[in-house]
Structure 1
Amino acid sequence: MALSIVRLGLRSVINFERNAAVISVTSVPKQLKLIHTKPACNGSVCYLADLPRDSELRSDRGSALRRYSKHHGRPEEDRRKQSDSDSDSDSDTECKGYDRTEFWRRKMRTVHNILDVDKDGLISFNDFILFAERFKSLGHLTNQQAEEFTSIIKLTWEEQWGAIDPYNFVTVEQYLEDMHHVLNDKSLKKRAYRWLPYLFKAVDKDKSGFISVHEFKLFFKCLGLDNEKAAVAFAVIDVNGDGKLSQKEFVKLGKEFFCTEDEKKVSKMFWGPLIH
């Protein structure tokens, strides 16, 4: 009789532990939308644990796993080595080396804020598409130019931030790190600004090959900035005072904004007032 009681007690303990394990496994929350932090890598795929950002997801309990592309999962040391080995020797960039000035970082934060069209603090592929649609909606691009613009925007995202999926987001710090990498990689740098001519063509309303201050205001409107800021910026970047910018000047200013750390360059006004 005593032996039967002992066996019954052991069976109860085993069943209790088994049920607890099942509850533990099934209570893991579903995959949620997270922001970039330091990922942990496992082969070609990287994961991280964090709390959901969006308010509508905060009711879900616990932490969740987020998938990252191999590009973002690459350890910082390896990325630094590749940046050094691919360092661009072209004279149009002044941001050599791994460290950046606070001035350059302010400029990158400014662009991140512009590309964050829905203003949720993160850049997504959807933001990129919304950004392109603002310029296309002006109606000054031909059908072919509009298609090319969309294709280039898509390709730029894939080359710089990997997969197009609803869980791929770029924080401010991630954007700064990735732009540093782009500027020190020859192949990426040459392709990173190929969408700038389409911005010019989209605001060149009269198709004259030049944009006036009024057309530059269209550019700032698409960036989400007001006319007053556009007028001030145009007065600064129009260094020869002829009241117009050619496509070559426009693209040069846009590229220089990303590449230079010289605070005296007028290109610092190209994307509007710098944020802190």
Structure 2
Amino acid sequence: MSASAPYPEFWVRKMRSFFVKFDHDLDGVVKKEDVMDFCNVRAKSLLNQEQMETYMDQVNYAWDYFWAGPEKKMSVTFWDFVRNHARNFREPDFQEEEKMWFCVYFDKIADKNGDGIVTRKEYEEFLGLVGVHPLSVPPSFDALDTDGDGQISKEEFVNAAVGFFCCTADTPAKKEYEEFLGLVGVHPLSVPPSFDALDTDGDGQISKEEFANAAVGFFCCTADTPAKLFWGPFLA
């Protein structure tokens, strides 16, 4: 990813929706002590002692690694938070660390009875740890339950959680294009402007004609056109 690449609006909105869960006074700053206190209060009413200890260890680790960043800040602004999570697209180990972190969340906290799946009730209580209202849970549960069996598997849980922080695509078509460019190592943050340039009719999809025209146009056209943006991510 180029250092000057803009953050996609959709991805920034997701980061903001998570950040404000902990920015209770809406001053644009979140402090570690406030996160720890809030999570501790919620955990007392939803977890047993063993689960609570694991959860608070996870929260503490999350602050140090995902929020505070290399500088180990004790308070962060929203844009500090955004820049730190953009490490997902620069450091492969960062995303792998997220996967391992969410696996622990599933095994030790979300899956309360240890049967390998998360029920609607378990998922509701899990989201309750960060103050999500029960009425907001059903659509989220249904989105994670990708095979429609009425349960959330560990794979579904971890994929969705990591995808929240890593995926920049807001439609299936953009997701496919992101995965295509990922085959040659293009960072997801570089994808949205390229997709929009190729989608010449603005229908939210790239047709075979649009794709081929942009690719051929890159080699044949000397003018500033969307064709350049098709290859822009490769040259960043």
TM-score after normalising by structure 2:
0.59
- 1:149 CA drift (Å): 4.2
Distance 1:99 1:231 in 2: 33
Instruction: State yes or no: 1:229 paired with 2:136.
Output: yes
Partner letter of residue 16 of structure 2?
Answer: R
1:1-276 equivalences in 2 (<5 Å): 98-116=5-23, 120-130=27-37, 132-133=39-40, 134-135=42-43, 137-140=45-48, 143=50, 146-160=52-66, 161=68, 162-163=71-72, 168-200=74-106, 201-264=108-171
Closer/same/farther in 2, CA of residues 210 and 135 from structure 1, 3 Å limit: farther
- 1:98 CA drift (Å): 3.3
Q: Is the 8 A contact 1:138 1:203 kept in 2?
A: no
Closer/same/farther in 2, CA of residues 148 and 211 from structure 1, 3 Å limit: closer
Please provide the CA RMSD for this pair: 2.9
Distance 1:113 1:155 in 2: 19
Q: Is the 8 A contact 2:95 2:162 kept in 1?
A: no
- 1:214 CA drift (Å): 1.7
Distance 1:262 1:111 in 2: 17
Closer/same/farther in 2, CA of residues 159 and 240 from structure 1, 3 Å limit: closer
Closer/same/farther in 2, CA of residues 156 and 219 from structure 1, 3 Å limit: closer
Higher percent of residues as helix = 2
State the partner residue of 2:204.
Answer: none
**Unmatched 5+ stretches in structure 1:** 1-79, 85-96, 266-276
**Unmatched 5+ stretches in structure 2:** 173-236
Q: Is the 8 A contact 1:183 1:259 kept in 2?
A: yes
- 1:237 CA drift (Å): 2.4
- 1:242 CA drift (Å): 0.4
Distance 2:57 2:6 in 1: 32
The secondary structure found in structure 1 opposite 2:128 is helix
Greater Cα radius of gyration, structure 1 or 2 = 1
Q: How many residues align?
A: 167
